[in-house]
Structure 1
């Protein structure tokens, strides 16, 4: 037997031995594609992860991971996850008039979506009527225009609101107004409001540095958003009055770590405000969701979603003294990252969206919206939106990834990345707290500087 065969057949007991006896001789004859490998956010990636790489601290796997439905919810927020019920499949759509948007919602519901997200045009999001001079050229362009209660009624005409699992909207600065319009429209249509599951984004803080649809100064905006949270907690417990939004932060150029850190820091500002009003975190905490991106870097995204649940559970317990497990369970709405789509060879975007969908499912999220392949250059056509919906359905029914809960849990690579992201997010949260919190970071330009630097580094790499 040759020396080469002897080495290959030898049992290797640890990573150091593998490096010395197998890897080093191999690298002498075949080099790697690049000197260093990283995630899309720049986290370093080892060529091989082994037991020596995880867990990096003294905590046992049971303490760090728990089990599905148990603290710290790393592995999922319910004991059976997708074995009982698939995630909400709800497309982000809306354009033109209320009638046109209504037709798209009804079409996609007929084709199997179980929820939907109302895309509002920019004049609506900024509080302008269609005939305002600043609304010129923007009415119905990036979403549906809602300028009156009559528009809202037409938007929902013929939709079985009490049977749709989730209805979401991008209302942020106008969160209280949209909430009131929902209630009034449902009452006029004879709908039992308490049986509806409305999802109001209502996270205006990220608008100041990631998106731009704000109206009032940050402090006043936090007050208005908190009003919606308090009202829903007292009157509409099935509604989601806040979806802490990281998607827009990521699409502006953040890293995965910054996406979670800035999102949670903003969320804490609202929670602190509501708690100062005398409400217990366990009164309204179970209604809070987060809205995150689902990027194409599968390992990083899966680790991000898992870390997000663990971080939130610990924040709720340590910062607010939460006792209700439902408060500690982070419900995640994931939207495939539109910034990854390109106008050139757009059909390739179908593959990108499928990979991002898979990452979200392996990460254990509760709701997914899939981008349409033509979003890089147009409002999605009906056919493109249908393909995006079918992508979710294929992953759910054909990919074989929904039968096992947290299928990648225990992977040395996934656990190492989960730990790294968690540690980095807590480090960022400490820094934001030291600077005075989310509102101060907005006013002082901290978020802007951090995102600009991250986006610049990413574009340089491209």
Structure 2
């Protein structure tokens, strides 16, 4: 009996595969990625006929960094294990940080409440009911000192998820470090500082784009001189993806925003190699394991090309896309929350296979509340099991050379380049945002995804299939309503005992600097060290820069 030995994919599909299909159809009519690209039944070397392993793949730690930015990757050092945390008061969040560090977390990631994100003190009328609810409430240097009490800032890397008020929170962190006697050159961490994605996907912006970009480039300049180990921005695709974008849109819109930040810095007179090595990125890790791993590899390759060819960077560090990953909050379900543990584990695996530099794993209860200690520990253990027990950290880029992963990486890259060319034609990210282009693309993708769920073309276990009639209610983290009153009282007491004249002098100096061209960071640091509050500093800048209202789209391109 002759055994079939196909000479090509075409022949295999017409013989062996067709014979199998004649006995029963595939389990669904169409297999697609998040960007609605059809997934082939089989990938072979024929899909990579034009693939150049030297120029498109290369070696780890070498241009174009497709295989990772470090030669040894996790064989040399595991990714930083961060757990995003912050709630209620600075005291309670400080206790959670100490707990997480005792459990093996290797980096802190700070969540701030909405008033802090929007530049309002805890006693502002618009802060009522929101103090400490989705993050920690920070109004002054006193709060920041409490938040990091007993935490050695020279040894712990801290990421702060803050944007419109990023300059103020960074200034507060610097002031705490000075009080601890820590040289600024030893501080390591990241401030998110990505305002463009706020206009696209989240909405926690304060000022119009132009002054917002000025504040960002002032941070670039200040940190290049004073905080060489600090990542001055975390250009975020995470929130773009959470708003409903596809993997392709996440890559394209994130890199488009990154291009705008680099252009703004160059326009401000900075040398590209003086600041580009301090840029970092923040991506989502969603459910499709192979698509997510390919997405990270495509983004890394694209950024290397953009920095070398578009911006003529010379330093290899300027071409390295260094990124933090968080598992996808939008995939977590209130139904059967234990399923979220499994989802998070697979999403974390995709991030590691894709070469992330740091990782946050969501807790199982985050569709219902802030995580409690037990669920936060379990989320951390998910990373630790992945790192120490699965073997995936023992080899550099184990997916390289996979016919499917390499062809999917190429496909994501090609489609992301199409978006970048379109955005460039529109005049760049700011113009594309003002016209509503990115927002409309994300809205359409989100609509298509919801439609697929409702029609059961996409299955979410426990939601539209395998539903349980009775479910147990987990123990949820609650923020005590007394927190707001305590924060207000503490803030008002601070205002009574501080040097009011000194506060006013520093705020007047900040206002004068904002009307001119002076770098705002030293002026903000002086203000926070005088115990001017976050709200007072924000209001000073509001007075000069004005406030951005919701964009009225010029078109629905």
Shorter-chain TM-score: which interval? over 0.9
Counterpart in the other structure of 2:389: 398
Distance of 2:313 and 2:216 partners within structure 1: 21
Alignment of 1:262-411 (within 5 A): 262-411=253-402
Q: Any conservation in 1 of the 2:217–2:268 contact (CA below 8 Å)?
A: no
TM-score under structure 1 length normalisation: 0.97
Which residue in 2 is equivalent to 1:168? 159
Residue 140 (structure 2) aligns with: 148
Q: What is the CA-CA distance between 1:234 and the residue it aligns to? A: 1.8
Matches within 5 A, 1:36-435: 36-55=30-49, 57=50, 59-164=51-156, 166-435=157-426
CA distance in 1, matches of 2:292, 2:437: 25
Which has the greater radius of gyration?
2
**1:31 to 2:25 alignment:** yes
Greater Cα offset, 348-357 or 222-231: 222-231
**3-state SS of the aligned residue for 2:196?**
coil
Determine the C-alpha separation between the residues in 1 that align with 2:4 and 2:418: 43
Q: Matched residue of 2:282: which SS?
A: strand
Instruction: Return 5+ residue gaps in structure 2 as ranges.
Output: 454-557
1:433 Cα deviation after fit: 0.7
Q: Distance in 2 between the 1:14 and 1:160 partners?
A: 61
In the TM superposition, what whole-angstrom CA distance separates every residue of 1:402-423 from its partner, at most 9, and x where no partner exists?
A: 1111101110100011001111
Instruction: Compute the displacement of 1:448 (Å).
Output: 1.3
> Once superposed, what is the RMSD of the aligned Cα atoms?
1.0
**Deviation for aligned residue 1:41:** 3.1
Deviation at 1:40, TM superposition (A): 2.9
Task: Report whether the alignment pairs 1:443 with 2:445.
Answer: no
Distance 2:252 2:210 in 1: 20
Tell me, in whole angstroms, the C-alpha distance in 2 between the residues paired with 1:445 and 1:218.
Answer: 14
Counterpart Cα distance in 2 of 1:209 and 1:137 = 26
Instruction: Indicate if the aligned counterparts of 1:219 and 1:439 stay in contact, CA closer than 8 A.
Output: no
Shift of 1:13: 2.5
TM-aligned CA deviation for residue 12 of structure 1: 2.5
In structure 2, what is the Cα distance between the partners aligned to 1:461 and 1:75?
33
CA contact (8 A) 2:187 2:227 kept: no
Counterparts of 1:229 and 1:264, CA distance in 2: 18
Counterparts of 2:397 and 2:120, CA distance in 1: 45
The alignment partner of 2:235 has SS state of strand
Cα deviations across residues 10-67 of structure 1 (Å, max 9, x unaligned)?
A: 3222212211220111111111011210123322100000111114x3x521211010
Q: What SS does the corresponding residue of 1:48 show, helix, strand or coil?
A: coil
- Whole-Å Cα distance in 2 between the matches of residues 193 and 325 of structure 1? 24
Match of 1:206, SS?
Answer: helix
- Which consecutive residues of structure 1, in runs of 5 or more, have no partner in the other structure? none
Q: Find out whether 1:10 has 2:28 as its counterpart.
A: no
SS in 1 for 2:230: coil
| Counterpart secondary structure, 1:77 | coil
Distance 2:351 2:32 in 1: 20
Task: Name the CA distance, whole Å, in 1 between partners of 2:21 and 2:170.
Answer: 61
Contact 1:89 1:392 in 2 (8 A): yes
Q: Tell me the distance in 2 between the aligned counterparts of 1:278 and 1:303.
A: 35
Answer yes or no: is the 8 Å Cα contact 1:95–1:101 preserved in 2: yes
Between the aligned partners of 1:277 and 1:138, the Cα distance in structure 2 is: 37
Distance apart, 1:278 and its partner CA: 2.1
SS in 1 for 2:136: coil
Distance across 1 between alignment mates of 2:398 and 2:130:
44
Aligned residues: 453
Separation in 1, partners of 2:312, 2:200: 30
Q: Measure the CA separation in 2 of the matches of 1:41 and 1:383.
A: 36
| SS of structure 1 residue aligned to 2:409 | helix
